[in-house]
Structure 1
Amino acid sequence: MNNQYQAWIGKQSSTKALVTAYQADALTATLDRDDAPYKEGDVIPPGWHLFYIREVVKLRDTAEDGHPKRGDFLPPIDLPRRMWAGTKATYHKPIHVGEHISNVTTIESVTPKVGKTGQLVFLKLKNEISGEDGLATTELQDVVYREEARPGATAPEPPPPPGEAVWKRTIHPSSVLLFRYSALTMNSHRIHYDRTYVTEVEKYPGLLVHGPLTFTLLLDLFRRENSDKILKSFSVRAVSPIYDTHDFMVAGSPNGETGATLWALNHEGRLAMSAEATF
């Protein structure tokens, strides 16, 4: 198959930021944690670089869905629905409050496919986050673009949980939680906060819980239950969407001496996200 997006492969974009205590404290509050306020030199948890290395574009450069317009850094994929599909993260070194960090994002691949729901395009991005002491985190991120939902189409039933939960938390995905997470990540995708848009234009039954928010909640569950462990890697795969219309659960269990399996379940107890951690 001829890939019309070949010219976009290898393109790079870079961002720099200062890691502040204020942003870490705001996320701590949003996650309902009781941690002490962060101070200069404190290590931020793995994965929290996301709240500093943010995609910031001018308002005029956003598309109707709230995402940055395509055709600048991201390829001009002519499919309306964009969804985060998963991340494989490796944590090399800690990041500290007060540190200047940078991120280089590279387009690794753009792959058109045809699935049961119609045309699809899979976009793979590589993020390399560095601190003042060198490479801190490497991420491989998958994004999928889809056609509009077909009238009367039904999604396949998600699979059951992968095992028996040893740790678990119930999450209430209020519109306030979704708004705060959108603000913390500078994510203006309207499917997370604009109920009229998400139900009438993209035809979803409610506001979508951000995939990265569920990822963050799984990371947080691991921290709550394994505070003495140093996380080395965390691989997450989105399985099915979660909406703000019902509570959901994050859960997990140990997997050997140096690993853990975690997952998120929708209100019917079916799998929404799966994750593997090593420490």
Structure 2
Amino acid sequence: MEIDLDHLRGWIGREETASEVLTAALVARFNATLDREGPTQDGADAPLLIHLCLCQPAVPTSTLGADGHPPRGGFLPPVALPRRMWAGGDFTFHSAPRIGETVTRRSVIDDLTVKEGRSGTLCFVRVVHHIASDGRAVVTERQDIVYRGADKATGEGKAAAPAAGQGEAHRRIAASPILLFRYSALTFNSHRIHYDEPYVTGVEHYPGLVVHGPLQAMLLAQYAEELKGRAPAQYSFRSAAPIFAGVDFAINADENGDALRLWTASTGGPIAMEARAEW
């Protein structure tokens, strides 16, 4: 498929800003979804990466694409490839947002590149989010979005990756459709691969509902915080393979000098997401 790279690169530098109050009710729903406990009173530090649930575009249902994504050509460039996924990114943590504060996200299209991969043309869009809470910098986030063609969604024709090992520290996570549905609701994510099984199996040809990349990234970051007793200063991750609902997966961690190497993997499956947390 022909991509007008010069046209798309005209989106570089485009910005949008949104703000939302970080309410106690949101924190309570967040904790319930992830089976975690924590304070919900105003003034308390909010959970790590809860900003992913805030400042999401409120796009009318009638304008969504067939995959459930918002239309392209507004803030994000109109890439003429049908599949869109979160490929990876990194976070620099400055401080914690507090419950009751107003969180503001200023997003900037930082770069756009096109590459040829084994499955065809790939378009990478890099977005940088500057997150502040009551005017105080809390997170700088780089988000790597990849667009690709509609074929080979399940990796058909690729050599099978080896099964992932188990980390020195590990925990099982039940990848239930209920968890995926609740996380989609928390993040106002209408991408159908996470909740619409007839669509994901019949149109995108995956074997089941796909576990969100941001959910995996969040679970790994919070696991790193739990193991070390404090939030990391720097956290990066990349997606390598999908995980599907209905099969438990594990979050894993190994010591790596002063850092932690982290990864997710379904039972008997390859590494799905790999991350690194530094203090």
Q: Which one of the candidate residues 13, 16, 27 is aligned to 1:13? A: 16
Residue aligned with 2:7, SS = coil
Equivalence for 1:86: 88
1:84 CA displacement:
0.6
Deviations 1:203-238 (A, max 9, x none): 111110000011111122223323x22321110110
Residue of structure 2 in register with 1:277 after alignment? 277
Q: TM-score normalised to the size of structure 1?
A: 0.93
Distance (Å, rounded) in 1 between the aligned partners of 2:100 and 2:167: 37
Q: CA separation of 1:13/1:229 partners in 2, compared to 1, >3 Å: closer, same or farther?
A: same
Distance between the aligned counterparts of 1:48 and 1:2, measured in 2? 34
Matched, 1:248 2:249: yes
- AA partner of residue 230 (structure 2): K
Sort the Cα spacing of 1:188 and 1:166 in 2 relative to 1 into closer, same or farther, 3 A: same
| Structure 2 CA distance for aligned equivalents of residues 19 and 150 of structure 1 | 40
Match of 1:215 in 2: 217
Matching residue of 1:262: 262
Unpaired segments ≥5 residues, structure 1 = none
- The CA deviation at 1:60 is 2.0
> What is the CA distance between 1:265 and its match in structure 2?
1.1
| Identity across the alignment (%) | 39
The 2-side partners of 1:92 and 1:38 are apart by 21
Corresponding residue of 1:95: 97
1:95 counterpart SS class: coil
Counting matched residue pairs gives 275
Q: Residues of 1 paired with 2:220 and 2:145: CA distance? A: 19
How big is the alpha-carbon RMSD for the aligned residues of Structure 1 and Structure 2?
1.9
Q: Secondary structure at the match of 1:216?
A: helix
Shift of residue 74 of structure 1? 1.1
Q: Residue in 2 aligned with 1:194?
A: 196
Cα displacement (A) at 1:166: 1.9
Contact conserved, 1:17 with 1:100, CA < 8 A, in 2?
Answer: yes
Structure 2 partner of 1:146? 148
- Describe the shift of the 1:263–1:180 C-alpha distance in structure 2 as closer, same or farther (beyond 3 A): same
Pair 1:108 & 2:110 matched: yes
Asked if the contact 1:24/1:38 (under 8 Å) is kept, the reply is yes
AA aligned to 1:38 is T
Task: Find the counterpart in structure 1 of residue 230 from structure 2.
Answer: 229
CA distance in 2, matches of 1:221, 1:69: 34
Shift of residue 2, structure 1, vs aligned partner: 5.0
Which aligned pairs between 1:178-189 and structure 2 lie closer than 5 A?
178-189=180-191
Please give the alpha-carbon distance, in whole angstroms, between the structure 1 residues aligned to 2:94 and 2:174. Answer: 33
Q: Aligned-pair distance for 1:26?
A: 0.9
For residue 6 of structure 2, the aligned residue among 3, 6, 31 is 3
Q: 1:120 matched to which residue of 2?
A: 122
Aligned equivalents of 1:181 and 1:23: distance in 2?
Answer: 12
User: Which stretches of structure 1, 4 residues or more, deviate above 4 A after TM superposition?
Assistant: none
Q: Deviations over 1:158-210 (max 9, x none)?
A: 3554x761211111111100000000000000000001111111111111000
Cα distance in 1, alignment partners of residues 170 and 219 from structure 2: 11
- Paired with 2:31 and 2:271, the residues of 1 have a C-alpha distance of 26
Asked whether the 8 Å contact 1:102–1:129 carries over to 2, the reply is yes
Instruction: Using the TM superposition, give the Cα deviation of residue 109 of structure 1 relative to its aligned residue in structure 2, in angstroms.
Output: 1.3
Alpha-carbon distance between aligned partners in 2 of 1:255 and 1:145, rounded to the nearest angstrom: 32
Alpha-carbon contact 1:168-1:221 (below 8 Å) kept: no
**CA distance in 2 between partners of 1:136 and 1:43 (Å):** 11
Kindly indicate whether the alpha-carbon contact (under 8 Å) linking 1:3 and 1:111 is maintained by their aligned counterparts in 2. no
Contiguous gaps of at least 5 residues in structure 2: none
Shift of 1:24: 1.1
Cα distance between partner residues in 1 of 2:238 and 2:30? 23
Give the deviation of 1:133 after TM superposition.
4.2
Q: Please name the residue that 1:61 is paired with.
A: 63
Q: For residues 87 and 222 of structure 2, what CA distance do their matches in structure 1 show? A: 19
| Matched-pair contact (CA < 8 Å) for 1:164–1:253 | no
